[in-house]
Amino acid sequence: MPVSPPSFKFTRMPLQMVDIHCHILPETDDGAISLEESVAMCRAAASDGIKTIVATPHMFDGVHTTPDRETINQKIAMVMRACDSCVNLVPGGEVRYSYEIFQEASDPNARIKLNGTSYMLLEFPFHSVPPNIEMTIFQILNSGITPIIAHPERNKKIQEKPAILVNLIERGSFAQLDAGSLTGSFGREAYHVSKQIIEAGLAHFIATDAHHQDRRRPVLSQAAAIAADWGGEEYARAMVESNPEALINDRAIPFQPDADVDALLGRKKNKSWFAFWK
Ligand SMILES: [Fe+2]
């Protein structure tokens, strides 16, 4: 879906971005198919202003073999060596909602954690939201892990009923949008819902979810500029700079806008007393 280019231009450049979702490890999942492609992706990311990438292979998705921690670390070292450390790569995973989460959660070195922190990237199936998800979120939080919901704007059920996302955020989750949703790569619905989510202040991160060097590329700056058009520069910067930087250092997420969900939920704003008397 073609979208018009952002009108916003960042006043302070270059951006110092951190990408928390990227399928950059070679021959691991449906991402980079070779070491050469991983290196090309690293270089593309670096020239876009991305300083650090969390390598997030699919985990427990029923399709790909979940790599163990040693394999992830070895591949990270191999890619960084091959690209002369043009970016900093750290370990993580995109974890499909599954019972394995709870088997792993108690391990302090669990591979499901992003850079060994107390955060994880949680993926739902694209056409459904798991039943009893509120209880699951509660259990994950109770095990000391904070879930970041991966690309909720691409989930059919959340597109139809954004109140689901509002509920998950209110219960302590965070939300990560895909850059491609903002730039129109994932179609009209994902684009419009992304805009609504940002305008409502319910997004906390934008990440590339990159898979290859030529499609679903590891670039963030255009999506960040679009986000600035929709939600202002401070918010856009936070989603690609300070929030993911805090995450990989296991700190509290610093920028959490006050959510304004009336438009997202199709509610009319309450009239103020002043408006009432006018
Ligand atoms: Fe992904």
- What is the whole-number distance in angstroms between the Cα of residue 270 and the centre of ligand 1? 38
- Looking at residue 241, its amino acid is E
Please give the distance, rounded to the nearest whole angstrom, from the Cα atom of residue 94 to the centre of ligand 1.
Answer: 6
> pLDDT-based confidence at 113, cuts 50/70/90?
very high
* Residue 10 resides in a domain: no
Distance 12 CA to ligand 1 centre (A): 29
SS3 of residue 139 by DSSP: helix
**Rounded to the nearest whole angstrom, what is the distance from the C-alpha of residue 276 to the centroid of ligand 1?**
48
Boundaries of domain holding 131: 17-277
CATH value at residue 37:
3.20.20.140
4 belongs to a structural domain: no
Residue at 62 is within a domain: yes
Distance 272 CA to ligand 1 centre (A): 43
State in Å: Cα 278 to ligand 1 middle. Answer: 50
Is the CB of residue 226 less than 8 Å from the CB of residue 6? yes
Looking at residue 276, its pLDDT comes to: 47
Written as six digits, the tokens of 182 are: 């903002």
For 48-103, the pLDDT digits (tens) are 999 999 999 999 999 999 999 999 999 999 999 999 999 999 999 999 999 899 88
Give burial (CB, 10 Å; 0-12/13-18/19+) of 51: middle
Q: What are the CA-CA distances from residue 211 to residues 58, 118, 170, 248, 271 (Å)?
A: 11, 25, 31, 21, 46
Distance 23 CA to ligand 1 centre (A): 6
Tell how far the Cα of 219 is from the centroid of ligand 1, in angstroms. 14
Q: What is the pLDDT of residues 261-276, one digit of tens each?
A: 887 887 776 555 554 4
Residue 229 parent element (H or E): helix 221-231
Q: Say if 210 falls within a structural domain.
A: yes
SS3 210: strand
Ligand 1 centroid to 216 CA: how many Å? 10
pLDDT band at 15 (very low <50, low <70, confident <90, very high): confident
Ligand 1 centre and the CA of 34: distance in Å? 17
Instruction: Please give all residues whose CB falls under 5 A of ion ligand 1, grouped by chain where several chains appear.
Output: 94, 209
CB 174 within 8 A of CB 202: no
Q: What is the pTM of this model?
A: 0.94
Distance 62 CA to ligand 1 centre (A): 14
pLDDT of residue 278: 40
Considering its fold, how many domains does the chain have in total? 1
Distance 245 CA to ligand 1 centre (A): 19
Percent of the chain having pLDDT more than 90? 81
Please say whether the beta carbons of 10 and 48 come within 8 A. Answer: no
| Gap from CA of 53 to ligand 1 centroid (Å) | 13
